[in-house]
Amino acid sequence: MKLITFRHNGTVKAGVLTNNDRIIVKDDGPDAAYAVRRLIEGETGVGGWQGGEASLDLSDVELLAPIPDPRRNIFCVGKNYYAHAKEFNDSGFDSSTKEEVPSVPVIFTKATTSVIGPNASILSAMDPTDSVDYECELCFVISKKAHKVTKADCFDYIFGYTILNDVTARYLQQRHNQWFLGKSLDSFAPMGPSIVTIDEIGDITTSTISTTVNGELRQQAKIADLIFDIPTLMETLTATMTLLPGDIIATGTPVGVGLGFKPPKFLKAGDLVSVAVDSIGTLTNPVQ
């Protein structure tokens, strides 16, 4: 299933997106903005979301982030593709470590208040340093409480996948010697267009992830190219802490971000940035 949250005629609703871009509405009540989150957290049964008649066209609604208000910060992984790790290390913006390629996963978070949906504007004016950058990332969403999960059992704890654009204010990231402030500006976490359940995707490592800016291809890689794969990330995160249903983990971005160019190609008002995973879809946002 492809789970979506959307606005139709001024009302927030949630439902399932079919393969022909039709929508089966599953919740149009006053708390529909939380419907997908409640489903993942087990408050409602998956069976109630299966089947039904499509009643809306995708073109007639405004997509929101599938989980517009995550319960906890988004967990993110830094420098998790070899070429990007070198790109970031060589850029002069990495104040976090002297290692070019991390020996263990680099973990940080993004504030929940940075989340926006497809086609919503990335507010470049929020960044006083004028260094707004893009990062396409695959996310996996946790299905049940996870603690001390082994690599072998990893996929038993994944509900599905979505896409994140890990938008970053590079000079803020560098100035504060950590990544949270530079990555948590309002509107700096476009997410969507849907959460695709794990049973529908199968082997995610065969998928390709990419970014285009104004139609120009900037990033492209296979998910299989991750330095630390999804089972390793799951094992690392849950070794000493507990992940909860609905937690979102962004797995890292490949080479080709704006800071890697000379001079850097940072985003500016009027740009259109699209990040995509071929098994999930495309997440497009204008820069304002």
Residue 63 contacts residue 118 (beta carbons within 8 Å): yes
Say which residue the tokens 């399932």 belong to: 16
List, as one string, the DSSP characters of 188-219: -EEEEEEEEEHHHH--GGG-EEEEEETTEEEE
Whether residue 174 sits in one domain with residue 46: no
Structure tokens at 72: 């906890």
**267 within a domain of the structure (yes/no):** yes
Is 179 buried (19+), middle (13-18) or exposed (0-12) by CB count in 10 A?
buried
Whether residue 256 sits in one domain with residue 189: yes
Q: Each residue of 208-223: b (16+ CB within 10 Å) or e?
A: ebbbbbeeeebbebeb
**142 within a domain of the structure (yes/no):** yes
| Domain span at 14 | 2-64
Strands (E), the chain: 2-8, 11-17, 22-27, 56-57, 62-64, 74-78, 106-110, 115-116, 132-133, 136-142, 158-165, 168-169, 189-197, 208-213, 216-222, 248-250, 272-277, 281-286
Whether residue 174 sits in one domain with residue 272: yes
Whether residue 131 sits in one domain with residue 36: no
**69 within a domain of the structure (yes/no):** no
Whether residue 219 sits in one domain with residue 94: yes
**240 within a domain of the structure (yes/no):** yes
* CA gap 20, 27 in Å, rounded: 20
**131 within a domain of the structure (yes/no):** yes
Q: Which of 10, 39, 64 is the last residue of a domain?
A: 64
Whether residue 235 sits in one domain with residue 150: yes
Write down the pLDDT at residue 174: 85
Residue 135 contacts residue 76 (beta carbons within 8 Å): no
Whether residue 18 sits in one domain with residue 141: no
Structure tokens at 258: 């704006």
pLDDT along the chain (288 residues), means of 10: 97 97 97 97 85 95 98 95 74 67 93 98 97 98 98 98 97 86 97 97 96 98 97 98 98 95 96 97 98
Task: Show the CA angle centred on residue 124, arms to residues 36 and 169, nearest 5°.
Answer: 85
Whether residue 243 sits in one domain with residue 127: yes
Q: What is the dihedral of CA 103, 86, 76, 33, to 10 degrees?
A: -160
Q: Which of 17, 32, 64 is the last residue of a domain?
A: 64
Q: What is the pTM of this model?
A: 0.94
Q: What is the DSSP letter of 151?
A: G
Whether residue 212 sits in one domain with residue 280: yes
Number of folded domains that form the chain: 2
Whether residue 210 sits in one domain with residue 138: yes
Cα dihedral across residues 212, 283, 73, 152: positive or negative: negative
Q: Residue 111 belongs to a domain with what CATH number?
A: 3.90.850.10
Whether residue 226 sits in one domain with residue 172: yes
* CA gap 274, 259 in Å, rounded: 17
Whether residue 252 sits in one domain with residue 198: yes
Write down the pLDDT at residue 97: 62
Write down the pLDDT at residue 90: 67
Write down the pLDDT at residue 179: 86
